[in-house]
């Protein structure tokens, strides 16, 4: 009976501790998630602010997970009679040894924290990291996961990130040049472009009214007209296609033919 009374707590107590740890972590995660939903609904934050909050909350979840794991290990060790106080006291000495053994891990942790708080990129951003372009699907303390449009996922240690281009940080300025026959009156063309602009404003990707920049170049039988459209980050391709569609529709209505097939597109973040 004495043997049973000694062994049984060593069996069920660790299981209870693990279950309690999982419950505490789940509850804390739900509280954090609820706080995020509250901020989205009531504070009406911008998309960038919401993504930043989501990334920081994921970071908090990771920190909570590590803290609970450490406490859980210490609690289980105490069940088996190991003096955890002496372990905690010796952490200062062990810290130097652990620091040397896990210096790469520590570098990743510090790099992850700096990336988040320096606002280099957030979860959901479109980025180019070390030449690889895609959407940030996960930003953790150790690694960053980027998913390309073809489905490929790059997993890179945070400390190995040497160059970052964030395509989602600011709106995109989309410059479009298109040729027009010289016999088309400039005033008539700008009326047509104003009709195109009204259609573009119905698109959620477009932020402002299109700017008519005017004639950019003069050719033999045509001139190049240039417009500027400000659109949401990384939406320039879809906005460009919409502009071309609406422009063709209006040209067809007025019987205007576009000279040649030369179109020039430029975007600036």
- Chain segment 123-166, per-residue pLDDT in tens: 888 899 999 999 898 887 788 999 998 989 999 988 888 888 88
Query: pLDDT digit string (tens) for 61-85?
Result: 877 888 888 888 888 888 777 766 6
In the structure encoding, which two tokens stand for residue 216, read together?
A: 């950019």
Q: Domains (ranges, CATH) in the chain?
A: 2-166 (1.10.287.1260), 172-268 (3.30.70.100)
Q: Could you tell me the sign of the dihedral formed by the alpha carbons of 240, 236, 133, 139, in that order?
A: negative
> What is the percent of the chain where pLDDT is above 90?
22
The Cα-based distances of 213 to 34, 190, 206, 229, 230 in angstroms read: 47, 10, 17, 10, 13
- Mean pLDDT score, 19-46: 71
pLDDT (0 to 100) of residue 107: 78
- Mean pLDDT score, 224-238: 88
pLDDT (0 to 100) of residue 239: 92
Q: In 3D, which of 224, 238, 228 has the Cα closest to residue 197?
A: 228
* Integer Cα distance of 190 and 196 in angstroms: 10
**Cβ–Cβ under 8 Å, residues 138 and 145:** yes
Beta-sheet pairing, 164-166 with 153-157: unpaired
Q: Tell me: pLDDT of 1 over 50.
A: no
* Integer Cα distance of 137 and 269 in angstroms: 22
In the structure encoding, which two tokens stand for residue 265, read together?
A: 């597109």
The CB-side HSE value for 110 (13 A sphere, CA atoms) comes to 8
pLDDT (0 to 100) of residue 243: 94
Question: Residue 30, class by beta-carbon neighbours within 10 Å (0-12 exposed, 13-18 middle, 19+ buried)?
Answer: exposed
CA 17, distance to chain mean position in Å, is 36
Query: pLDDT digit string (tens) for 187-205?
Result: 999 999 999 999 999 999 8
Q: What is the pTM of this model?
A: 0.53
Q: What is the DSSP string of 124-159?
A: T-EEEETTEEEEEEEE-SSEEEEE-TTS-EEEEEGG
């Amino acid at each position: 009976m004495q043997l049973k009374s000694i062994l049984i707590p060593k069996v069920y107590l660790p299981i209870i501790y693990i279950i309690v740890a999982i419950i505490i972590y789940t509850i804390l995660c739900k509280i954090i998630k609820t706080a995020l939903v509250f901020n989205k609904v009531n504070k009406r934050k911008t998309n960038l602010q919401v993504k930043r909050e989501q990334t920081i909350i994921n970071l908090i979840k990771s920190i909570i997970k590590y803290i609970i794991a450490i406490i859980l290990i210490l609690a289980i060790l105490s069940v088996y009679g190991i003096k955890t106080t002496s372990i905690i006291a010796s952490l200062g000495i062990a810290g130097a040894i652990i620091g040397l053994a896990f210096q790469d891990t520590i570098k990743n942790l510090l790099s992850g924290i700096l990336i988040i708080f320096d606002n280099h990129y957030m979860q959901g951003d479109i980025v180019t990291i070390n030449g690889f372009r895609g959407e940030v699907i996960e930003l953790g303390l150790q690694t960053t996961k980027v998913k390309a449009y073809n489905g490929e996922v790059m997993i890179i240690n945070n400390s190995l990130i040497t160059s970052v281009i964030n395509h989602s940080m600011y709106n995109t300025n989309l410059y479009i040049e298109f040729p027009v026959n010289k016999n088309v009156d400039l005033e008539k063309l700008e009326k047509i472009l104003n009709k195109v602009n009204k259609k573009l404003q119905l698109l959620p990707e477009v932020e402002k009214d299109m700017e008519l920049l005017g004639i950019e170049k003069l050719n033999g039988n045509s001139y190049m007209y240039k417009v500027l459209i400000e659109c949401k980050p990384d939406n320039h391709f879809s906005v460009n296609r919409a502009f071309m569609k609406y422009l063709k529709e209006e040209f067809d209505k007025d019987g205007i033919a576009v000279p040649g097939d030369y179109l020039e597109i430029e975007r600036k973040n």
